[in-house]
Structure 1
Amino acid sequence: GHPARGEIFSEAFSISLFLNDLESLPKPCLAYVTLLLAAHPDVHDYAIQLTADGGWLNGYYTTSSSSELIAIEIEKHLALACILKNVIRNHHKLYSGGV
């Protein structure tokens, strides 16, 4: 699988968590997931990235934050990825006749 990947920038870094392959992430589902991210007031600094492998949930962090705050934000990132994976799975089942 594709568990995670990271990138380091000047004074920031990003962590990307794999959500699903593109076959299971059609445009209506992707639009729905994007709206969920945009609509939540406590969700910020996240983006969905599409690659040949599939969809990734990117989280962006500044290196000036305390290690405790970064740890909390990474836990939120992991929880959000789990929630979005369930949304994608349920959306796929619903629209592919699996439910």
Structure 2
Amino acid sequence: MIVQDLVETKEYFTEETKDDFFVIYEKFENSDCNCKGNMLEEIECDDEEVIQILQGNPECSCSLRNVKSYRVGQQHKTVEAVLAKIKEEHQEIFK
């Protein structure tokens, strides 16, 4: 079983996006955990960094919808590269 621990989060473009859009960075430490009898074996895995574009529902402030997620290190090697891609491809979320 993969266990993800959220260790860092940050919001980007706070003053630049429309009121119901959020660009959120999250960093997770991942572990592969296995139970063997009374023993718990935990193996550290690679960290994971994700940047998500979320849209709030103006009628229900408790709900967020994922518009798009980007994993840092896959198609885009750095956080800055992902942020540049978001500015380029998702102009509709900006004021």
The normalised TM-score by structure 1 is 0.33
- Greater helix fraction, Structure 1 or Structure 2: 1
Q: Larger strand proportion, structure 1 or 2?
A: 2
- The TM-score normalised by the length of structure 2 is 0.34
Which has the higher relative contact order, 1 or 2, with Cα contacts under 8 A spaced 6 or more apart?
1
Structure with higher Rg: it is 2
